[in-house]
């Protein structure tokens, strides 16, 4: 079946198709595209056996260490394929003889992929040998090693002025956050042991002072409205949760609050969406509906 067969000729060339390589059904499969393809893959905890034998992938942790990640469980189904095998097969099928890359060979032996990485990415010399060492290996880190690529060879500090935010008129500065039971935008549960939340995610964390100033009470339902230039965006029905957060600040989970992020609001330099710095106001919801009660410590 071709994309044209799947979507119909009237939508080919229009951004109506999304393709997901995933291990778990989630809400992201239902939005963005008119049609959605879900390609189930092996989880990182499952054994990945290819033509050359059992495989492993490598990951970088928050300390800059690259190490092996190898599954030990039997796959949920013999039909499941690895992320690597799926992507390589798509490349082989779509590019065919136009590509000089042996895509299927890369999928058969992940060591070959690491060899290519070694050739082009600084710090990955002898990749396959070093990643098999207990604990893996550190990536290059000039400050840790006392090396600074500056004319003087020393660290150079810069001073930036503290940004000013107009929070008049009852405005707050909202940051979007993840819960404990969440990896990126994949939500595995409705609980957040970090903040004492259970049975729900549509909450907004506010300081007691900001709640009192706005006449809000714990567990009240509010709508969140973001303000950017002349644009206003609304996310409805979030439960107020008192939290030890600085006055003038608020926090809520994403992707539930992604709707508040204006497309044209991006950070200077990085051009990233301003999900961590949204100017908002809150107002009581028009009606309180019967969502499951949110409990918090």
Average pLDDT of the chain, as a whole number? 89
Same domain, 196 and 287: yes
What CA–CA distances, in Å, run from 221 to 167, 197, 288? 22, 16, 6
Q: Round to the nearest angstrom and report the end-to-end CA distance of the chain.
A: 53
Residue 2 scores a pLDDT above 90: no
Q: What percent of the chain has pLDDT over 70?
A: 91
Q: How confident is the model at residue 247 (pLDDT cuts 50, 70, 90)?
A: very high
Q: Quick one: which of 223, 196, 202, 194 has its CA closest to 285?
A: 223
Residue 187, beta-bridge partner list:
182
Give the pTM.
0.66
What gap in Å lies between CA 36 and CA 225, rounded to an integer?
A: 30
Residue 139 scores a pLDDT above 50: yes
Same domain, 190 and 239: yes
CATH of residue 191: 2.40.40.20
Let me know if residue 147 belongs to a domain: no
* Among 87, 121, 138, residue at a domain's last position: 138
Same domain, 244 and 290: yes
Instruction: Take residue 297 and report the two structure tokens written for it.
Output: 């410590």
pLDDT at site 186:
80
Same domain, 100 and 178: no
Q: How confident is the model at residue 13 (pLDDT cuts 50, 70, 90)?
A: low
User: pLDDT digits over 163-218, tens only?
Assistant: 888 899 999 999 999 999 898 878 888 999 999 999 999 999 999 999 999 999 99
pLDDT at site 149:
86
Let me know if residue 288 belongs to a domain: yes
Let me know if residue 109 belongs to a domain: yes
Same domain, 211 and 262: yes
Let me know if residue 33 belongs to a domain: no
* Among 90, 117, 138, residue at a domain's last position: 138
Q: Quick one: which of 241, 274, 272, 243 has its CA closest to 257?
A: 274
Average pLDDT over residues 109-115: 98
What gap in Å lies between CA 79 and CA 74, rounded to an integer?
A: 12
User: pLDDT digits over 52-98, tens only?
Assistant: 999 999 999 888 999 999 999 999 999 999 999 999 999 999 998 89
Same domain, 245 and 186: yes
Average pLDDT over residues 88-109: 95
Contact predicate 154/160, CB 8 Å? no
Q: CA torsion sign, 247 to 248 to 254 to 257? A: positive
DSSP run (H or E) holding 278: strand 278-284
pLDDT at site 287:
61
Residue 162 scores a pLDDT above 90: no
Let me know if residue 77 belongs to a domain: yes
What DSSP line would sit under 124-179, residue for residue? -TTHHHHHTSTT-EEPP-TTTTT---STTSS------PPP-----TT-EEEEEE--
| Residue 67 domain boundaries | 41-138
Q: What percent of the chain has pLDDT over 90?
A: 70
Instruction: Take residue 184 and report the two structure tokens written for it.
Output: 């990126």
* Among 120, 138, 156, residue at a domain's last position: 138
Let me know if residue 146 belongs to a domain: no
Average pLDDT over residues 148-175: 91
Residue 295 scores a pLDDT above 70: no
Neighbours of 73 (CB within 10 A): 11
Same domain, 129 and 210: no
Residue 289 scores a pLDDT above 50: no
- φ/ψ of residue 242, rounded to 5: -65, 140
Same domain, 242 and 284: yes
Residue 173, beta-bridge partner list:
249, 279
Same domain, 284 and 180: yes
Task: Please tell me the total count of domains within the chain.
Answer: 2
Same domain, 183 and 272: yes
pLDDT at site 297:
46
Same domain, 184 and 277: yes
Same domain, 185 and 130: no
Residue 5 scores a pLDDT above 60: no
pLDDT at site 294:
54
């Amino acid at each position: 079946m071709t994309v044209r067969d799947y979507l119909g000729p009237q939508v080919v060339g229009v951004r109506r198709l999304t393709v997901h390589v995933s291990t778990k059904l989630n809400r992201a499969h239902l939005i963005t595209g008119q049609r959605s393809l879900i390609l189930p893959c092996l989880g990182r905890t499952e054994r990945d056996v290819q033509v050359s034998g059992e495989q492993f992938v490598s990951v970088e942790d928050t300390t800059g260490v690259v190490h092996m990640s190898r599954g030990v469980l039997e796959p949920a189904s013999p039909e499941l394929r690895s992320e690597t095998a799926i992507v390589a097969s798509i490349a082989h099928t779509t590019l065919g003889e136009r590509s000089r890359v042996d895509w299927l060979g890369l999928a058969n032996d992940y060591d070959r992929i690491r060899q290519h990485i070694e050739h082009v990415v600084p710090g990955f010399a002898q990749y396959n040998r070093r990643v098999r060492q207990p604990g893996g290996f550190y990536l290059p880190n000039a400050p840790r090693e006392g090396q600074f690529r500056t004319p003087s060879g020393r660290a150079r500090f810069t001073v930036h002025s503290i940004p000013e935010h107009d929070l008049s008129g009852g405005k707050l500065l909202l940051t979007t956050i993840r819960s404990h039971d969440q990896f990126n935008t994949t939500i595995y549960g409705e609980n957040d042991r970090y903040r004492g939340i259970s049975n729900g995610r549509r909450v907004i964390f506010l300081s007691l002072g900001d709640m009192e100033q706005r006449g809000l009470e714990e567990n009240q339902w509010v709508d969140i409205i973001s303000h950017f230039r002349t644009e206003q965006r609304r996310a409805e029905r979030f439960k107020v949760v008192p939290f030890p957060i600085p006055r003038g600040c608020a926090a809520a989970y994403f992707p539930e609050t992604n709707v508040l992020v204006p497309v044209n609001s991006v950070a200077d330099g990085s051009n990233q969406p301003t999900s961590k710095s949204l100017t908002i106001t809150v107002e009581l919801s028009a009606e309180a509906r019967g969502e499951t009660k949110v409990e918090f410590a």
